[in-house]
Structure 1
Amino acid sequence: MTTIRADYSEWVQKFNDDGFLLLKGVLSEDKVRRLNAAIDGILDDEPESLAYNIYNSVERHDEIASLIEEPTVLPLIVQLLGYNIQLHISHLTVRKPNPGDAPTATNSFINWHQDGPLPQFPNIGGLTATYYIKVCYILSDMSEPNRGNTKIIPKSHNRAYRPESENVREMLSDEIQICGDPGDVFIFPQNLWHSGAPNHSTLTRRQLFLGYSPIWIRPIDYKVPSERLLKDASPIRKQLLGMISDNPFNYYVPDDSMVPLKEWSW
């Protein structure tokens, strides 16, 4: 295994301070093209809709599954979250142009929220810890606002915050929209307040989210990974799919040999 080392201290500090990172040009044009071709095939098998939320998307195509251990992103996630981690969730969101906000089965927008279970993650003094981190691969032109962009409240992960309105249609004084080009990556923790705005443009929004959590949290998408994902899997992929031991105690206290990503932690 090749150990990837770089100085991520500036990114880690910015993430901890602001609650998000926007990394430019992470994926090549060819990788974006191949991912979009895979998504085209996935959508061909779905009922026609203005909006799609497709969970466990790594199971739907090998091109998407290849992002599980994306070498330009995963080392940074290890620095942010630690080495004893797994793939927590993967979901594809597609929002076609919907200037009239027509209602859809999967919603063209999502109101302001923090991610997490019901009723909620534990909090102390109104603050919730970071339990998992999402990586959003931007696969369509979202360089301008109001294209179904993700809205966020910067720094809201670090303070006892609640928006004055949870209705995404109402602009908040401290909100920003994440704008990016195909191939850019947006990274944020589950405790950052965020929302998915309506798409009032003529373009289709495509974003692919992969989330990572400590391996002792139950993943959202599956109980055990499929044989297809495990076929010829590297030690790192096996760890990220939660296949480290038959003993559940090792999810909490793993041997070093079970968590090869430890070599990426420094």
Structure 2
Amino acid sequence: MLNPVVSAGELTETDRFIFESWGYFVIPDVLSAEEVKQCLEASERVHRAAGTEGFGQVGRGYETEPALEQLMDHPAVLPKIRGLYGDRFIMQSGWNTKQPAFGGMGGWHQDGSGAYDFKKLSFPQIPLVQLRASFLLTDQTQPRMGNMELIPGSHRSQVTMPEALRKEKGDVSIGHVICAPAGSVLVFHNAVWHRTYAHDGDYDRYTMHYIYSPPWVRASDRLQNSKAFLEQTTPLRRALMGEFHRPDAPFGSGYEVPPFEG
């Protein structure tokens, strides 16, 4: 099966070409089996505490679960984000999603804001405002395991998806079901049309999503940062949370670069 697979670490020119052409790529073997186990157990605790029933998405799990926090600036993934954005961006949100056992197809959509349609920012193509890194925490090596399904190159389409196709719950001829083992990471552009694929397993599927955005984008999983979390986390993670020094205009020339090398 054709897959846009790239190696961990620095964004290469080939990686960039794949991303611009497809709108996404997959980094395999980012997490070890033990790391996956720790993140999966953390995800279960996060959803248990939130009282999730059925499909659920819970933010801010990184504040209480060290295993999830460590994914925020993972060395296999963050250089890709930095390569696509440059040095100035934030972690807009961190969502942990649960698809329950025997879950059905999700609906086709693009990522964005319900309060302000990203299509208003640019026409006819939607700009990169949210860059998502999805850590797969359960095996998805075959279809119908709660995979993500995307339409390659749809982030460059100059027309929206037809309503009839959006309502389609069956297979779509141009859909690409991502098949990858637990511990892999899917990185994709907010404008790529995608949906959650069906899940036939008798276990819950978990994915940890980190969404990175330009520094002027408002956080979507929190109204403000937790002071307790900021005190105990690293300088780089504080900067990624948006806690950086602004000596003049909010995003003027004095805006400090996050301490990537620290």
TM-score by length of 1: 0.85
1:210-236 C-alpha deviation (Å, 9 max, x unpaired): 000011111111233112321243331
Count of matched residue pairs: 250
Give the structure 2 partner of residue 105 of structure 1: none
Aligned partner letter, 2:259: P
Q: Which residue of 2 aligns with 1:114?
A: 110
**Correspondences of 1:157-196 after superposition (within 5 Å):** 157-164=155-162, 165-196=165-196
Query: What residue in structure 1 maps to residue 138 of structure 2?
Result: 140
Q: Does 1:253 align with 2:252?
A: yes
Task: State the distance in 2 between where 1:91 and 1:211 align.
Answer: 8
- Residues 140, 176 of structure 1: alpha-carbon distance in 2 compared, 3 angstrom cutoff: same
- Closer, same or farther: CA 48–233 of 1 in aligned 2, 3 Å: closer
Give 1:115's aligned amino acid. D
Instruction: Compute the RMSD of aligned alpha carbons.
Output: 2.3
**Residue pair 1:142, 1:205 contacting (<8 A) in 2 also:** no
* Alpha-carbon distance, 1:34 to partner: 1.0
**Residues 148 and 72 of structure 1: CA distance in aligned 2, closer, same or farther (over 3 Å):** same
Alignment counterpart, residue 153 of structure 2, candidates 139, 152, 155: 155
1:70-129: per-residue Cα shift (whole Å, max 9, x none)?
A: 111111100011211111111111112226x5xxxxxxx431111112341125443111
1:20 aligns with 2:24: yes
Taking structure 1 as reference, are residues 222 and 7 closer, same or farther at Cα in structure 2, changes over 3 Å only? closer
- Residues 168 and 197, structure 1, Cα contact 8 Å, conserved in 2: no
Q: Which deviates the most, 172-181 or 198-207?
A: 198-207
Task: Determine if contact 2:11/2:79 at 8 Å carries over to the other structure.
Answer: no
In 1, distance between residues paired with 2:154 and 2:59?
Answer: 26
Summarize the Cα distance change of 1:255–1:186 in structure 2 as closer, same or farther, 3 Å threshold: same
The worse-fitting range, judged by mean Cα deviation, of 167-176 and 129-138 is 167-176
Change (3 A) 1:246 1:80: closer
Residue in 2 aligned with 1:235?
235
The SS at the match of 2:42 is helix
Question: Secondary structure, in 3 states, of the residue corresponding to 1:17?
Answer: helix
Q: Which runs of 4+ in 1 moved over 6 A?
A: none
Aligned to 2:93: 89
Structure 1 stretches of 5 or more lacking a match? 102-108
Shift of 1:249: 2.5
Contact persistence 2:246–2:255 (CA under 8 A): no
Runs (5+) with no aligned partner, structure 2: 1-8
- Counterpart Cα distance in 2 of 1:258 and 1:10: 26
1:36 and 2:40 matched? yes
